[in-house]
């Protein structure tokens, strides 16, 4: 396991702030009568740093490439499986699977399929809680459409939430992407939506906890 590149600046800032708090409390509360309080504050500082550290962990994942499989683009919990209308690109009915990423999940996002990026767009927006009905249309988000070698188009959308204040992406129109490889990162969790053809076979249920880059969540016909 390694630390994700998006975490370096945040971890440095956390170390500086928490280190300063630790130093100042030791300096101004140097009397032995404050030893217990100092130890408690030191423990809190260490705990907070470890919390930030776990946000940016980058575990090794092993993806079994299969052109018919749709791989989970994120760790988390399946919160939506439904037939809906996708308005931005397809402008028609699709099967939607949504995975909610809590602050304790790995926040790296991975390509659910291999193929060519046919559409990419970043949308600035609000920071409603990820499960809000309007989060997928009003929040900060990115939309990506990948066309597989056999012409199937899969749309996936990074959605920021109340805590997530920065979406990162590493793809653009025309890129050739590989299933399971990293395409982006959402700091401090949120949600990823996947829109599939209506005849796709969904292989997960509400409440399941897929592993990004490994769990097969659907099968293309």
Instruction: Please write the tens of the pLDDT for every residue from 172-199.
Output: 999 999 999 999 998 766 889 999 999 9
Higher pLDDT, 192 or 133: 192
- pLDDT of amino acid 63: 95
Give the number of other Cβ atoms within 10 Å of residue 178's Cβ.
Answer: 14
Average pLDDT score over residue span 99-105: 87
Question: Burial, 118: exposed, middle or buried (Cβ in 10 Å; 0-12, 13-18, 19+)?
Answer: middle
pLDDT exceeds cutoff 60 at 164: no
pTM here is 0.84
Of 211, 105, 89, 98, the C-alpha closest to 164 is 105
Confidence band of 28 (pLDDT split at 50, 70, 90):
confident
Catalytic residue among 98, 114, 136, 190: 190
pLDDT band at 134 (very low <50, low <70, confident <90, very high): low
44 vs 30, residue with greater confidence: 44
- In angstroms, the Cα distances linking 128 to 11, 44, 133, 139 are 25, 29, 9, 6
Cα 191 from Cα 98, distance rounded (Å): 7
Structure tokens at 19: 């280190």
Tell me if residue 190 is catalytic.
Answer: yes
pLDDT at residue 62, as a whole number: 93
């Amino acid at each position: 396991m390694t630390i994700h590149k998006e975490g370096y600046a945040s971890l440095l800032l956390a170390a500086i702030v928490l280190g300063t708090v630790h130093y100042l409390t030791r300096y101004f509360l140097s009397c032995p009568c404050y030893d217990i309080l100092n130890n408690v504050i030191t423990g809190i500082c260490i705990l907070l740093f470890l919390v930030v550290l776990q946000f940016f962990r980058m575990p090794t994942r092993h993806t079994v490439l299969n052109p018919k499989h749709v791989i989970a683009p994120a760790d988390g919990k399946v919160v939506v499986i439904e037939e809906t209308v996708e308005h931005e690109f397809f402008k028609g009915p699709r099967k939607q699977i949504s995975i909610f990423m809590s602050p304790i999940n790995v926040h790296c996002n991975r390509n659910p399929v291999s193929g060519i990026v046919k559409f990419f767009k970043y949308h600035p927006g609000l920071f409603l809680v990820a499960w809000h009905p309007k989060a997928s249309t009003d929040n900060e988000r990115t939309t990506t459409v990948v066309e597989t070698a056999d012409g199937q188009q899969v749309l996936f959308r990074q959605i920021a939430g109340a805590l997530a204040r920065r979406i990162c992406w590493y793809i653009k129109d025309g890129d050739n992407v590989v299933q399971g490889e990293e395409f982006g990162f959402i700091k401090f969790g949120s949600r990823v939506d996947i829109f599939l053809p209506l005849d796709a076979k969904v292989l997960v249920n509400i409440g399941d906890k897929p592993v990004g880059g490994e769990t097969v969540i659907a099968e293309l016909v």
